[in-house]
Amino acid sequence: MSFMSPIVAANPAKRGLRTRETLLVLGLFALVAALRLPLSWIEGRFQDEEATVFLAYAWHFPAEALLRSFGGYLNIAANGITLALAGLIRGGAISLEKAPYITMLAGLASQLVPAILVLRSRSPWLEDSRHRAVALAVLLLMPTTEEVFLNVMHIQFHLALAVGLIVTLQAGSGRRRAWFEGAVLFLAPLCGPAAIVFLPLFALRAVVDRDSRRWRQFAILATGAAIQLLSFYHSTPLRGAPFDPVNLAAAMFIRLIALPFGGLNGADHVGFAAAVGLVQGGPGLYLIAALSVGVFSTLFVTTLKSRDDAFWLFAAAMSVAAVSLGFGILTGAPYAAFFSLAGPRYNYIPLVLLGLCFLCLATRANEVERRAPRLLLGLMLFVGAVHFVQPIDIYAGGPSWKREVAAWRADPNHQLEVWPFYHADLSDRHVRCDGPFAQGQVSPRYCEQGWLRSFDSWKDSKTKPAP
């Protein structure tokens, strides 16, 4: 019998997981997630701003670090964990050599939150344990999503995905479930704006389902969103390009269709054609955008007919992709959204939700209706598995943290190199970000001015000819 067979009452796999079984599955899930970047456990890994911004600022200004807004918003998870880590290192409870393993484990723990929701869901299409296994594979295998694995900086994406799952799966019952979901809904928008995108879907689903639990969920998410937007959210010159519906349609096709079904190389070919059309003119960009409209319109009609979670999964995927690629992507060029490795973190949530949408469609009772989504999902998982064992170079390896710490101990002014190519300032020089700078002195990267300038410096280094 196929693993995508429909759910039937006689199926012995159709039952909820016991607590012990859930813990075993979560342990296996965590192991597979950890193995996506195996060298990180050998070398010790901080990922870019995780150390160069969050840890460095907590190191220099611990009294101000917890509620600091950076890059346009508050990331309470990254702030809080790196602040605690800096205190533990300075207090001697943890050596600096072991510091990255703390943040890696914290990031790994956050990846379990969406997995828990999948395992404990009562949605009919997830009642079969085989379907839950496929859903967990979707969480792990989407291509080019290494950037959000094993770091505290991107806990926000796993919590935002969890918010997307809460609104798209059947509402749970029980006090513990309500407290768990409530904590996720409140904390997620305080870690980043992605979770806020789902707020209209909670209101819409509350109206459609006529379920008071959805209104409670809406209220909790809205409270966290209001705190973020009114107290911490601010604009940054690097985030977003002028909105253009044609560019957005093309970017969504490249990242949500060409990438999961054609791999990174296939997506880059389509992305190059779109970029050429944008810069030099011609029909390429418009053809890709038109194809995008056709594909996603077909999926909209298909999921709307189902009248189940598939529609909500599709709507959630489209919503977060449209907002992030149309307004929120951190980019220095209008065509950056056409290339999947320009902000690959923005691929994660919509790809997972779209994969789960195909899984939901593939569990329909009608054999004819489930053939296409079953094939599409199988292809997505195959492409994802290939990318899983061949991670992106800049996330697959990096400098040895222990060697960097040894150099720092020999010279406290040494800037510690982190993955993929920036340096963390853990010196004793506490340079205030809002104070005057000495002549010739530049703001460090843990200041927003220095962070913005570092992108220009890096781009210049990539364009200069080798000596």
The single residue listed with the structure tokens 């340096």 is 423
Sequential DSSP letters for 252-275: HHIIIIIHHHHHHHHHHHHHHHHH
Query: pLDDT of 150-190, one tens digit each?
Result: 999 999 999 999 999 999 999 888 899 999 999 999 999 99
Average pLDDT, the chain: 90
- Eight-state DSSP code of residue 72: T
When pLDDT is averaged across residues 104-110 and rounded to a whole number, the result is 98
Question: What CA–CA distance (Å, rounded) separates 327 from 247?
Answer: 11
Tokens encoding 32: 């597979």
Asked whether the bond before 344 is cis by omega within 30 degrees of 0, the reply is no
460 pLDDT tier (thresholds 50, 70, 90): very low
Q: What are phi and psi of 347, to 5 degrees?
A: -80, -25
The beta-strand segments (E) located in 13-147 are: 69-70, 73-74
pLDDT at 13 over 60: no
Query: Does residue 1 register a pLDDT over 70?
Result: no
Query: What is the per-residue DSSP string for 138-157?
Result: HHHH-TT-GGGSS-STTHHH
Taken in order 349, 354, 355, 360, the sign of the CA dihedral is: positive
Question: Contact at 8 Å (CB) between 268 and 339?
Answer: yes
Q: What is the pLDDT of residue 312?
A: 97
Q: For residue 458, is pLDDT > 70?
A: no
Digit-coded pLDDT (tens) for 200-237: 999 999 999 999 999 999 999 999 999 999 999 988 77
Write the CB contacts of 70 (distance below 8 Å, at least 6 apart in sequence): 53, 54, 57, 448, 451
Q: Quick check: helix, strand or coil at residue 419?
A: strand
How many of the other CB atoms lie within 10 Å of CB of 316?
27
